[in-house]
Structure 1
């Protein structure tokens, strides 16, 4: 778990203390919200709306956060569930799908000035973009070096299911790229 353990919300604890504790955790892990929002929304306004919705849902769930669990795992689970729901809802409203190459503008290139590496990264982003929301979430967590156990916990799947899906996605990446 990252940060100091938090006690479950107590009605005797001033709400301002809870807000400060939540804000501290949210700030420490703001990259998760930004990455998830960027991974699921192309338009900057939609990205901002999704990030705001994720923050709202995190705040609503904050009283139920179990400090025995890693905050980042809890946060990913909520953020990805909100994002996947937003994608499903957006399909009904004919919004644009995410494009990773635009969405990850702030991610540092692992091999600057290497055209071949840049081309491979763009191809990987296109591949990820083409995946269903759950597979996209798995790839996002996999690329963030999350363990199968943590991915399973975040997505509500079994570790075996995660391992199988990741294996199949990796094979498809090899075949398609």
Structure 2
């Protein structure tokens, strides 16, 4: 094969990946912010997610939604990071409210702000899988897409969401 053709194809792959990563960078930021308190740890996790996405890029199936594929990898990397003993000792894994302010800069009334803080506290208190499920639910992902991302059945997703919603109503 002609090296110039191979280099051009590789360059196209790099550009395509970089474009898709830029378009969906909010997924990486949200997942990293949901699993890391410390800004340096959050940046490290976001970088690790991007690296894992690049490593997995040759296996990406363009017939599937990029955001679904990206969420699955990002959440798997984040959950693995949380499970590691070294990272577990370094941070408490809360949701960074500043990310919410960037994503939705509209001013809120104090009662709404209090409700958002309570929801963030609830999310950060959950087990990694439930936290991932809540993030996907709040991102308006379908049960089917959540099941695909998390590797669970749609029935299991529906049951878990129902139970989490009941707990939210009870605790908030």
| TM-score, with length taken from structure 2 | 0.90
1:14 is displaced (CA, Å) by: 2.5
Which whole-Å CA distance do the structure 1 matches of 2:27 and 2:152 have between them? 20
Aligned mates of 2:102, 2:56 — CA distance in 1: 28
Count of residue pairs brought into register by the alignment:
167
Distance 1:122 1:132 in 2: 18
8 Å contact from structure 2 (residues 82, 88) kept in 1? no
- Tell whether 2:43 aligns with 1:45: no
Instruction: Name 1:114's counterpart in structure 2.
Output: 109
Could you tell me how far 1:17 is from its partner in structure 2? 1.2
Contact 1:152 1:162 in 2 (8 A): yes
Any stretches of 5+ residues in structure 2 without a counterpart? 1-5
Residue 131 of structure 1 aligns to a residue in which SS?
A: coil
Q: Contact 1:99–1:126 (CA<8 Å) still a contact in 2?
A: yes
- The list of structure 1 runs, each at least 4 consecutive aligned residues, that deviate by more than 6 angstroms after superposition, is none
Is the helix fraction higher in 1 or 2? 2
What TM-score, normalized by structure 1, do the two folds share? 0.88
Contact map agreement 2:147 2:153 (CA 8 A) in 1: yes
Contact 1:42 1:103 in 2 (8 A): no
What is the root-mean-square deviation of aligned Cα atoms in Å?
A: 1.9
- Which of 101, 121, 124 in structure 2 is aligned with 1:129? 124
Shift of 1:151: 0.3
